[in-house]
Amino acid sequence: GAVVSQHPSWVICKSGTSVKIECRSLDFQATTMFWYRQFPKQSLMLMATSNEGSKATYEQGVEKDKFLINHASLTLSTLTVTSAHPEDSSFYICSVLTSGSPREQYFGPGTRLTVT
Amino acid sequence: GQNIDQPTEMTATEGAIVQINCTYQTSGFNGLFWYQQHAGEAPTFLSYNVLDGLEEKGRFSSFLSRSKGYSYLLLKELQMKDSASYLCAVVDSNYQLIWGAGTKLIIKP
């Protein structure tokens, strides 16, 4: 299956600062990547669908100006949490969707963000 | 609305067999995933079913009935390391993943 990496694996930042999380598809060119968020003891929640070369599609309730997504190449998508607040502390996970049939989804290892 | 139902928690004994059920109601269907997630880690892909029937992968098997909107994950010869949450997710007509809340599986010696 596809290998997906995320960087950083964990980050602590101060309230009001911005944090960038990278998601790389190491051995597969992904036109579609997903960004998820998981709060403690809750299921994964889809934040947005990242499409290479076009604007991301955000889920209802996700602020597009706060969570900036850039999918500039077939192997890299970035999520920037702008003006982070303690309530943004969460586990952020990206995934890639294969283009074959049937389509399969592979997840990155996740990034744990703590905003103090 | 779209809905995925699975039990919140299950307990089983090491060496035994456990079946985790998942029922779904979604707008369209393009497959069903099962994932395993240990606390603090990202989910790990277990299986993907798009056609009716049983798919076996070692100790894990997954079954799908599209007409009944039903799937199950079967775990055999349970090991302590199988203690985790098991997530059922359905791909809808827009290729969006609809997630269940997960089933926490507790394995006892």
pLDDT tens figures, A34-58:
999 987 767 778 899 988 888 899 9
Q: What's residue B31's pLDDT? A: 87
Which of A44, A102, A108 comes nearest B48 by C-beta? A102
Which of A43, A107, A108 comes nearest B99 by C-beta? A43
* pLDDT tier for residue A2 given thresholds of 50, 70 and 90: low
DSSP structure string for A75-110: TEEEEEE-S--GGG-EEEEEEEE--SSS--EEE---
- Minimal Cα–Cα distance from A34 to chain B, Å? 9
Contacts of B33 in chain A (CB under 8 A): 105
Give which of B52, B1, B49 is closest to B27, Cα–Cα. B1
Contacts of B31 in chain A (CB under 8 A): 102-103
Q: Angle at CA A5, nearest 5°, toward A94 and B104?
A: 55
Q: Which two tokens stand for residue A74?
A: 């077939």
Would you call A16 an interface residue with chain B, using a CB distance cutoff of 8 Å?
no
Contacts of B40 in chain A (CB under 8 A): 91, 112
Give which of A56, A47, A52 is closest to A111, Cα–Cα. A47
pLDDT tens figures, A84-99:
999 999 989 998 887 7
For testing the chain B interface, which of A96, A107, A111, A113 should be mutated: the one with the most B CBs within 10 Å? A107
Q: Angle at CA A28, nearest 5°, toward A93 and B56?
A: 75
Q: What's residue A48's pLDDT? A: 92
Is there a cis peptide before residue A109, judged by omega within 30 degrees of 0?
Answer: no
pLDDT tens figures, B44-99:
888 888 889 999 989 999 999 999 999 999 999 999 999 999 999 998 886 677 88
